[in-house]
Chain A
Amino acid sequence: MHEMSLAVAVVDQVEAAATSRGAVGVSSIELDVGELAGVVADALAFCFELACAGTVVEGAELITRTVPGTARCAPCAEDWAVGMPPRLLCPGCGGAADELVSGRELRIREVRWADPEVREGRRADPEAPREEHRHPITEES
């Protein structure tokens, strides 16, 4: 049950991003979770609720997407879905896969910042369409 540690890390990271952007609320956080990441999405969602209490992230929706595991055999130039339990032997030649191409991800795909006026409860026009600002968190590579 290390999902609590992971949930705290998600909240810390989004909080830091919110602070640097001056965001006052978070509408949703979208996560990519590889099927071999060893993470239980339901447990993570439960822990997330607890971890974000009292932070700028409180009330945000957590959306998790499962990323299937795929492996690659270089000699056969073949990629395959490893399945669960994973099969890391090439279905073509029976040799060891050269690498796991996907399946161990655990990353924030996107964060949506909440409309500041909604967060602060002083929207000028309650009937106006609510605006959400989509900002993928990015970093220079």
Chain B
Amino acid sequence: MCRAVDLQRAVLAKNEAAAQILRTELSARGTTVVNLLSSPGSGKTALLERELRLAGERGVSAAALTADLATENDARRLARSGVPVKQVLTDGLCHLEADMVARHLHDWLPESTRLLFVENVGNLVCPAGYDLGESLRVVLASVTEGEDKPLKYPTAFGLAQLVIVTKTDMAEAAEFDEAAFRANVQQVNPGVEVVLSSVRDGKGAGALLDRALATAEGNRVHTPVMARAGA
């Protein structure tokens, strides 16, 4: 029996093969990768700063790879948490690919790392299609972005294994409708957990770290409907 070549598999066959190798290699040495996606300015770096600091306090060995088109500002911010941090400059590329991650980990990632957080390029379109070898994919949206963000970027939210709403201390000022946001998330990704977070007032502190550790311990992770694609 013959069938047409599926390009998504072919394009991503290269990326997915690299991602799978990375996932296998890292999990063999006890490292779990968490891929963080959001729009620019949703608070990925602020959230990570808090969670990395908490990891340090709890004695969890963590590291972070942060990607931007330009500047090393985020790496400098994250380094204050005391964990190993590396900046990836994509030189204009809108997303990370698995082989880029693998190249940056080589000769850098400490052997003992339990959790590796990858802060993707701020973009809710392109990074959605690229597996980076992660075991947990987290998508963030801040309260100022509007309740319909999951509907505007359905593939990003549809493939999330955890959704974090950030800047909830500003929810009232932004007139954020939490129920509407949750309903929109459920429409594109039924069953995914939505966590509220604010680095200002401490809401949701440790939630990301806890989910990442649970994933590292082999607890079952949500499988989005979109990831169960016959396509």
Contact = CB atoms under 8 A, between A and B. Distances in A.
Interface of A: 1-2, 5-6, 9-10, 13, 31, 34, 36-38, 67, 71-72, 84-89, 95-110, 136-141
Given A1-B94, A141-B3, A100 B189 contact: no
Contacts of A99: 225, 228-230
> Which label, helix, strand, loop or mixed, suits the secondary structure of the A interface?
mixed
A98 B228 contact: yes
Contact of B155 (A36, A98, A105): A36
B8 interface: yes
A95 B7 CA distance: 31
A72 B229 CA distance: 10
B17 to A, nearest CB: 13
7 contacts: A5-B11, A10-B7, A38-B125, A71-B225, A86-B188, A102-B230, A110-B4
A65 to B, nearest CB: 12
B6 A97 contact: no
B191 A96 contact: yes
Contact of A88 (B1, B190, B230): B190
Interface residues of B, number: 38
Interface in B114-136: 125-126, 128-130
A54 B7 CA distance: 22
A37 B129 CA distance: 8
Nearest to B184: A85
Given A99-B230, A100-B229, A102-B231, A140 B2 contact: yes
B7 A36 contact: no
Nearest to A72: B230
4 smallest beta-carbon distances between A and B, as pairs: A96-B190, A106-B8, A85-B151, A2-B126
B6 A2 contact: no
A38 B228 contact: no
A83 B8 CA distance: 21
Nearest to B129: A38
B10 interface: yes
B3 A139 contact: yes
A100 to B, nearest CB: 4
Contacts of A6: 7, 11
B24 interface: no
